[in-house]
């Protein structure tokens, strides 16, 4: 409905925005790939588990160097921050991680962030909306920026006292353990891990032997089979873009084709970090045929080493289940139009199928299907499962505050007219003011590498992770009432949520499944923030 002049303007804006977000992502990737921390003196790695040292030594060897190489890729970065005792080295790696695309070099993204925010605003105005957030949220469950801000504030009110209490406890613990007078960002993961071990006597290294990658894949397939009657068979006759990609034919109880599933699990040079689900062919009904989808999961898990198979941290197990939840949304699609099929739903609904599936990772009944020790075959002991469940809410206040800070930063870029913003870092600091626990780090800026909102599809939508958590906590509470493998509830979920794609308003679909609107208290209870 725009006039010719405005149509031309819109095309120009779209073209420029797509180029800018591509460049933004290329800069982040280049900064991630260009950094390496080479350590030749092993004594500096005190605290780091042998398996992590082995991976770092293998990487150094591949690069023709002596010693241990650490990178900004998550499988390398996270264990380093969690376990390495040397505070100066943690600081060095942490600052490098937070400085991605915020340095005085050709990969700096500050200008790009300002340009993207302003062009998005201009585009929204052109289409008759007050801000980019108003434009985006019209097709979301939340509907308006006011509703999103209200939602974030309501959760903040409940989570902030818990987060501040947890932060005090962590500070006191670091003081008692190492005489630290104040905590910096690079201390957070290290002391949290130590405190978690003290409180729950459980750590990643203890759990990893029970989570061999191949077993976890079988486990998620078995869960899908018990819930939705799906069968997965690995095949070798499908073309892939890399030899590491595995392919599976997915069939139903009658042996009929449901989908083709691709899986790409390990980091390599030039591959984007993180984890995601993607679609190569959408499901649709055309010329009397139900065309089945081609779905892919991409992750970046630690590889097998010379001595051990690929073993996952518990966090990586939940990531695998999460992405597979998205994959099920794509695989079980059953709609007429490709554009409304599978995960083509309102953005604050899209995380429900993925987040709900994570819940099975905490259930003894589900863990018994796949959590076997890779050497002994022993099923994960009950007391370890209890510890996982208890520790699941560890620092939930701080975690919630962190997620809310990202959602708030997103709205600070997209829920206003950004034309007066001159300094990216300063604007970010204002957005974070109400959720801040750690002192600021001058060399760091999150916005310049916040790929979710400047490269991915989460602009004005980052709140949807928390929004979907409310849905998933409420939905899983329903499964728990009836049994986690209850066929009747699973069928209701499949027929009313997973297969429907974006054909109806998500709240209508959800209420059809659940019989009522979701209750936010389910999330706060599960997180231990209210009792």
Supply the residues annotated as catalytic: 323
Tally of CA atoms within 13 A in the half-sphere of 296 that contains its CB: 15
Q: Are strands 276-281 and 257-264 parallel, antiparallel or unpaired?
A: unpaired
Q: Which residue has the tokens 């030899």?
A: 243
According to DSSP, residue 279 is labeled: E
Within 13 Å of residue 476, how many CA atoms lie on the same side as its CB? 23
Q: Beta partners for 235?
A: 247
Q: Give the whole-angstrom CA distance, residue 251 versus residue 230.
A: 6
CA end-to-end span of the chain: 52
H or E element: which one contains 199? helix 185-200
Place of tokens 């034309």: 419
User: Residue-wise over 163-175: b if at least 16 C-beta within 10 A, else e?
Assistant: beebbeebbebbe
- What number of other Cβ atoms are within 10 A of residue 522's Cβ? 19
Place of tokens 């989460």: 458
Structural element, H or E, at residue 260:
strand 257-264
Helix axes 87-98 and 74-83, enclosed angle (nearest 10) = 140
Q: 254 phi and psi, to 5 degrees?
A: -90, 0
Sign for the CA dihedral angle at 433, 439, 443, 446 comes to: negative
Residue 427 in tokens: 């604007």
Tell me the β-bridge partners of 180: none
H or E stretch covering 157? helix 145-178
Q: Which helix (H) or strand (E) holds 322?
A: helix 314-331
């Amino acid at each position: 409905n725009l006039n010719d002049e405005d149509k031309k303007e819109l095309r120009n804006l779209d073209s420029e925005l797509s180029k800018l977000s591509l460049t933004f992502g290329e800069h982040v990737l280049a900064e991630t790939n260009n950094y390496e921390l080479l350590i030749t003196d092993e004594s500096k790695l005190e605290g780091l588990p042998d398996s992590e040292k082995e991976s770092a030594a293998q990487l150094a060897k591949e690069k023709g160097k002596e010693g241990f190489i650490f990178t900004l890729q998550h499988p390398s970065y996270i264990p380093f921050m969690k376990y390495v005792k040397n505070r100066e080295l943690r600081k060095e790696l942490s600052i490098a991680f937070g400085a991605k695309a915020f340095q005085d070099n050709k990969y700096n993204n500050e200008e790009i962030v300002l340009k993207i925010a302003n062009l998005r605003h201009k585009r929204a105005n052109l289409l008759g909306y007050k801000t980019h957030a108003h434009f985006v949220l019209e097709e979301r469950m939340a509907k308006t920026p006011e509703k999103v801000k209200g939602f974030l504030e309501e959760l903040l009110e409940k989570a902030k006292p818990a987060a501040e209490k947890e932060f005090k406890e962590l500070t006191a613990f670091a003081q008692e353990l190492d005489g630290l007078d104040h905590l910096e960002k690079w201390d957070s993961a290290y002391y949290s891990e130590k405190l978690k071990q003290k409180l729950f006597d459980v750590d990643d290294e203890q759990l990893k032997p029970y989570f061999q990658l191949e077993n976890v894949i079988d486990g998620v397939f078995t869960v899908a089979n018990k819930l939705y009657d799906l069968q997965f068979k690995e095949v070798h006759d499908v073309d892939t873009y890399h030899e590491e990609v595995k392919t599976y034919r997915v069939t139903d109880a009658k042996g009929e084709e449901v989908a083709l599933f691709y899986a790409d699990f390990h980091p390599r040079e030039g591959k984007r970090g993180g984890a995601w689900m993607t679609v190569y062919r959408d499901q649709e009904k055309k010329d009397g045929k139900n065309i089945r989808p081609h779905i892919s999961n991409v992750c970046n898990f630690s590889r097998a080493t010379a001595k051990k198979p690929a073993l996952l941290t518990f966090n990586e197990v939940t990531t695998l289940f999460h992405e597979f939840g998205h994959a099920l949304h794509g695989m079980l699609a059953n709609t007429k139009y490709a554009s409304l099929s599978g995960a083509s739903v309102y953005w604050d609904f899209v995380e429900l199928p993925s987040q709900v599936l994570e819940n099975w990772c905490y259930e003894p009944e589900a863990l018994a299907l796949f959590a076997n020790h890779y050497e002994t075959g022993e099923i994960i002991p009950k007391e370890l499962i209890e510890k996982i469940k208890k520790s699941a809410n560890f620092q939930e206040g701080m975690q919630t505050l962190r997620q809310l800070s990202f959602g708030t930063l997103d709205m600070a870029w997209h829920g206003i007219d950004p034309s007066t913003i001159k300094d990216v870092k300063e604007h970010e600091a204002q957005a974070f003011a109400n959720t801040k626990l750690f002192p600021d780090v001058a060399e760091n800026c999150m916005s310049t590498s916040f790929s979710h909102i400047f490269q991915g599809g989460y602009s004005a939508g980052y709140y949807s992770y928390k929004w979907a958590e409310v849905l998933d906590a409420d939905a899983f509470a329903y499964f728990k009432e009836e049994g986690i493998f209850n066929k009747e509830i699973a069928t209701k979920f499949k027929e009313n949520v997973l297969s429907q794609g974006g054909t109806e308003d998500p709240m209508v679909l959800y209420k059809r499944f659940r019989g009522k609107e979701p209750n936010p208290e389910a999330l706060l209870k599960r997180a231990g923030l209210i009792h």
